[in-house]
Chains A and B, each alone.
Chain A
Amino acid sequence: MSKFEPKIVAFVCNWCSYGGADNAGNKKLKYPANVKLIRVMCSGRVDTKLVLKTFKEGADGVMVLGCHPGDCHYRSGNLKAEKRFRTFEKFLEKFGIEKERFFLDWVSASEGEKFQKVISEMTDKIKLIGQLHLSPKTA
């Protein structure tokens, strides 16, 4: 049996964390290919519906990466996301999803190293937790 390769989706904001991924690319920093990116304009656009949908469609882990507090291109969208997901995390277990499968953090457009780190760590973490099997009820 081949080893488990988790499917992870990261929502990245256009201005900071997408730029952080670019910065990692420009610096040729290597990281696992498990994480697929979905670009949104602001982390504030990402809501619980999108995250739950992502789990439902088969993701083993979901990340939301935005601008550092104070750096949001849209002033405060990232803070709205933070508020939303700090509450959301508490309810994840109720959906049969370990809370470690969700990850929210800030990556600036100059933090290629941080981008590499959070992607690598998330991949390792989900590899340890294993595949997500949602109960038919949740799905």
Chain B
Amino acid sequence: MSLKPKIGIFICRCGTNIADKLKFDELKNQISKLPDVAGVFEDNFFCAPAGKQKIIETIKKEKLNRCCFAACSHRVHEKTFMSIAEEAGLNPYLIQLVNLREHITWVCDDIEAATQKAFVQISAAIERLHYHEEIIKKFLEVKTDIAIIGGGMTGIKAAKLLAQDKSRTIYLIEKEPTLGGWMPKWEKSYPTMDCNPCFLAPELSEIKNITNLKVITSAQIDEIKGFYGNFTINLTQKPRFITDSCIGCMECFSQCPVTVKNEFNAGMDERKAVYIVFPGSYPNTAVIDEKSCLRFKGENCSKCQEGCPFGAVDYNQKPEQMELSVGGIIIASGFDMIDIKEFQQYNWTGKTNIFTNVEFERMMSSSGPTQGHIKTRDNKDPESVAVVYCGGRQKSGYCSSVCCGASMKYARFLLGHNPGVKICQIYSELCLDTEGLQKMKSDLEKDGVKFIKCDDYAKIKLEESAGSVTIKFTQNNSEKSEKVNMAVVSMGIKNSKNSEELAKEMDLTLSAEGWFQKSHAKMEPSSSIIEGIYIAGCCSTPGDVQRSVISAKAAAGEAMSKLLAGKKIELEPAVATINPNLCAGCRLCVSVCPFKAISFDKNLKISVVNEAICRGCGTCVGACPAGAATAKHFTYSQIYAEIGGVLV
């Protein structure tokens, strides 16, 4: 813009709020003499319809090409004056607002000092306006594709719901080689004692026929950047070393000479170095565990390749880098069990008849280490079992809400599978807030299960000697104990380690208990603190399958309604730019940018701003030692002019 500045100053009286608190006429006279000021115009309320009209008419009539509004706070009326300027045909960045009201007349009783301060701040605005440039607004259409991080039941249900809209591509990203998360490890669900694999199997097998649902397993997230409507996810998919030709026939397993502990069965049995995580998994293809496979230890073994009838073994598979462009992200990164090893009171070693809940769950499974039979470590049928509640709560400080129901599930399972078994449940507090759980408890009591209320879950102690477990606790302040063949400690859950990593990567915050912070705990429980990122399942708050599925569908609904095709969002117009001729390629700006909006161009050896991501904070400008970075609307020349102005 090369026109000679023709500046109009619109000074608002704001009723008496400004006009009566300084020497108004004297001020008007002073500012009318500032350089390139074409006129000073006043009104009682420039923000009122008549005032607005007056501004528009004046700008047009006087052919003003810059305006100073000496009125109230930016926070109150900057947008108002910008849109008035626009309506008058003036670029909204060719205006400058001076806050006479909140920053001067309301805080200064000395009328002389207030007038002087007002003059100085207006002078600075006029100086600054000489350096203003037009900035053109940019709009970006939101991307409608959505990524879901975490392929447990929550992620699966959210993905399947979203994928019903065939115009979208839905990415389901899972770090493990298979979908399902914790759910496939639970044989039964409480209180109905439904067969979990029976309803999980169709959920998983349907996925392969959903063409717009892309499942990415063995994925590691490298970087997430962007904002609502326009995120970029960079990830690496680790190789399976098994191609898609695998049909999951398991022929190769018997060939493999390596056996390692099977983590899916809580380490209670073994698997091969080539394995399928669980029968019926998705994808139902084998995977080679690089850490234990002889070939990856430098030995010349190719037994699985030789044994594969489909030629599906490929030792040369390489990690694959992927870049996904999506409009929104649902985080369903699940939970971890609280580690029993952190609690000496439970005396768990994995060798005695003190079991964790996960070990017990796996024994319940027909495909588990004991084929669905509950056995002591020396493979005997237990005659008495104690279930200890609230494992780890003394440290976590919260109720995990799912362990009471699960603990009662163990009792119901034992009654059905181990006739005559004596069961006691040792608890100090109960959480029976799921439909049917109260009745489950009273039914169990009718069937002879003893519910023993102790004083404090934190003081329960387990000891084993000669195959028997003694549980010591206090009841009404007197020492009590129960001696059983087997004890199960129901450990609580905590947010997963992945969630913590994601929170760091995405600048999300975690609550005091460690769950993802919601946008509003009550009103916006599916939204994270960052627009376009939604949260579901146990990483958001602990809950059973039903609650996780509800939250999955809520997050999916939220994402879908916010990412409608054709919806446009206005980008921050006043972004940073980097002058390629001045940039020395030091990358300091890359390291300070809070939004990862700056990347280093390896070919040009300079930093480059992604204007769609930049939010215009100017931190890169403050850091750039070469003076190559500029923040539009807050350039050095603009701020220098303002500094000169306030120090007249």
Contacts and interface: CB of A to CB of B under 8 A. Distances in A.
Q: Do A and B bind each other?
A: yes
B124 to A, nearest CB: 7
B222 interface: no
A31 B107 contact: yes
A37 B594 contact: no
Interface in A1-52: 7, 9, 14, 18-19, 21-22, 24-26, 28-33, 36-42, 44-47, 49-50
A40 B592 contact: no
Interface string B605-628: 000000000011111011100000
Contacts of A53: 640, 643
Given A53-B643, A80-B592, 9 more contacts: A9-B646, A14-B74, A18-B74, A37-B121, A38-B646, A45-B618, A50-B640, A75-B594, A75-B595
A131 interface: no
6 contacts: A7-B647, A38-B124, A50-B636, A73-B617, A75-B595, A84-B622
Contacts of B642: 38
A74 B617 contact: yes
A84 B102 CA distance: 30
Contacts of A65: none
Contacts of B594: 44, 72, 74-77
A57 B618 contact: no
Interface string B93-132: 0000001011110111110011011001100100000000
A60 to B, nearest CB: 10
Given A44-B619, A74-B595, A25 B102 contact: yes
Contact of B647 (A21, A46, A54, A75): A54
Interface string A96-139: 00000000000000000000100000000000000000000000
Contacts of A76: 594, 619
Nearest to A116: B107
Most B Cβ at <10 Å: residue of A14, A32, A41, A53: A41
Interface in B41-78: 73-76
Interface residues of A, number: 44
B75 A77 contact: no
B622 A45 contact: yes
Contacts of A73: 617
Contact of A45 (B101, B619, B643): B619
What is the size category of the interface that chain B forms with chain A? Answer: 35 or more
Interface in B493-512: 507
B644 interface: yes
B107 A38 contact: no
Contact of A41 (B109, B634, B647): B634
B294 interface: no
A81 interface: yes
B102 A75 contact: no
Nearest to A49: B636
B308 interface: no
Contacts of A41: 574, 616-618, 631, 634
Contacts of A37: 99, 103, 121
B102 A22 contact: yes
Contacts of A25: 73, 99, 101-103, 106-107
Nearest to A31: B107
Contacts of A81: 619, 622
A47 B104 CA distance: 26
Interface string B123-162: 0100000000000000000000000000000000000000
A26 B106 contact: yes
Nearest to B644: A57
B27 interface: no
A33 B634 contact: no
B647 A42 contact: no
B268 interface: no
B639 A33 contact: no
A27 to B, nearest CB: 9
Given A33-B113, A50-B639, A74-B595, A40 B634 contact: yes
B621 A45 contact: yes
B107 A30 contact: yes
Top 3 nearest A-B pairs (CB, nearest first) are A25-B102, A45-B618, A44-B619
A75 B617 CA distance: 10
Contacts of B595: 74-75
A80 to B, nearest CB: 5
A44 B622 contact: yes
A33 B643 contact: no
A127 to B, nearest CB: 14
A133 B67 CA distance: 36
Given A58-B647, A59-B647, A47 B103 contact: no
Nearest to B616: A41
Given A22-B75, A25-B102, A36-B120, A42 B619 contact: yes
Nearest to A54: B643
A31 B105 CA distance: 11
A57 B616 CA distance: 27
B114 A77 contact: no
